[in-house]
Amino acid sequence: MKQNPKQFPADFLWGGAVAANQCEGAWNVDGKGPSVADTMVLPETYSRKGLITYDLSREEIVQSIKDEKNWYPRRSGIDFYHTYKEDIKLMADLGIKAFRTSINWARIFPHGDDEKPNEPGLEFYDDLFDTLLKYGIEPVVTLHHYEMPIDLVTRYDGWHDRRMIELFVKYAEVLLKRYKDKVKYWIPVNQINCLFASGMEYISLGILMREYEDKQSAILRCLHHQMVASALVKKLASQINPAMQVGAMIAEDSLYPASCKPEDIFAAAKKEQIMNFLFTDTLVRGQYPSFVWRYFEEQHIDFEITKEDEEILAAYPCDFLSFSYYYTMTTQAGADKPIANPYLEASIWGWAKDPLGLRTALNKYWDRYQIPIMIAENGIGALDEVVDGKIHDDYRIDYLKSHVQAVKEAIADGVKVFSYLPWGIIDIVSCSQGEMSKRYGLIYVDIDDRGKGSGKRLLKDSYFWYQKVVTSNGKQGVE
């Protein structure tokens, strides 16, 4: 009788993940233009459990670019722009096979609609990818990870403007042609579904929400444009180098029903349809799922979907599905916001550890789509303490180990998982809070929330644990 594998496949891509806007810094160097990330200030006081959201006016955006008084952590990041060779060497010593990062859109097209790309920006990524490949590390590249050129916000209203599809495809074409023999795996849009829960419309969609009366229609119009653009990236990749793979990526926002009450179970199912399956069904199956039409009607949502859009989506579905996974929540009938799960322990940021939820998600998406799956992000933010030059982060080892075990069990379930990329392999600026003190990395970076520190890299205990896992292909360290 046929049996499912009990171990990770020999070609499994162990790796790590970051984003350009959270690590590179050098925000105005070598011709780079300002991006949405460069306008994100860290307030003097903030709540560790509160997401920093942005609802700026056009005037405030212009002023923020000129502001030299307040602290904008993404403008300096961890200075990866200048330290990437040393940092990649530390990653190579782990034995990893893949490294996910993004290309900063504003580094390539400083204004977004420039006639020609910025050559120094392209040369930086030339060297970055060459350095990775020298160590046998596969680049996994995200094209749009909260780094939209700011002029596309102030002059085009971001993704709300249909012209953004053409501008994004032009940007993608430059990169696909330039790196066709260096990058195999491409993700057009990071966490394309995370808008309804996170309040990140500005950094992901580039729209100023205060200017829209019908906010849901505005958001879904933007997301439709992103999905059409993603399909066109797949079309380009197939023409330029058929070996390149283009994947969809979502934030896996799993919601359990708060009870076995039928109304709660149905509420959880309906919310997952809109939060997750609306996007994965469209990008994987090539058409909007039928449940959205009732939802759009009842919510009075209206935006243009042309016949050509539908043909593009149908003709160019993605090659693989990727998702970020951090925690799960619950919901109940009539609830506007997710509810914490009383059976799970949460971090100080309110993120509940749920490794079984990862196995559940992997089975769910495999059963639904039967295409290869990449775990593009997974990790735990924590307040690491340096003691005598060492970081004893058993809590991170415990979190990652339990989730790697869940991936292994999913493989035994028959799920085709081909990559695991913990976030972030090195400490970077937190996306949701803008802090450095919310640390995810296996490599510690001596920089505090206000950018002060030596910048020195230190190896955490989790680094050595993951090294054992990677070099043994999951046979050690996950017992």
- CATH number of the domain bearing residue 93: 3.20.20.80
Q: What is the largest CA-CA distance in the chain?
A: 68
Q: Mind listing the pLDDT tens digit for each residue in 235-247?
A: 999 999 999 999 9
What lies within 8 Å, CB to CB, of 230 at 6+ separation is: 188, 189, 192, 246, 248, 283, 318
Q: Looking at the predicted structure, is the pLDDT value of residue 50 above 80?
A: no
Q: Is the model more confident about 1 or about 142?
A: 142
Is residue 86 domain-resident? Answer: yes
pLDDT at 43: 84
Is residue 119 domain-resident? Answer: yes
Is residue 479 domain-resident? Answer: no
Burial group, residue 304, by CB count within 10 angstroms (0-12, 13-18, 19+): exposed
Given CA atoms 112, 115, 121, 123 in this order, what sign does their dihedral have? positive
Is residue 453 domain-resident? Answer: yes
Is residue 2 domain-resident? Answer: no
Q: Is the pTM of this model over 0.75?
A: yes
Q: At what angle do helices 163-178 and 119-134 cross, to 10 degrees?
A: 50
pLDDT at 51: 55
Residue 333 near residue 261, CB atoms below 8 Å: yes
Q: For the chain, how many structural domains are there in total?
A: 1
Is residue 7 domain-resident? Answer: no
Is residue 417 domain-resident? Answer: yes
Is residue 155 domain-resident? Answer: yes
For residue 301, give Cα distances in angstroms to 294, 310, 354: 10, 18, 34
Q: Mind listing the pLDDT tens digit for each residue in 61-116?
A: 999 999 999 999 999 999 999 999 999 999 999 999 999 999 999 999 999 999 99
Domain holding 245, by residue range, is 13-471
Average pLDDT, integer, range 194-220: 86
Q: Mind listing the pLDDT tens digit for each residue in 135-162?
A: 999 999 999 999 999 999 999 999 999 9
Q: Is the model more confident about 106 or about 56?
A: 106
Q: Mind listing the pLDDT tens digit for each residue in 403-413?
A: 999 999 999 99
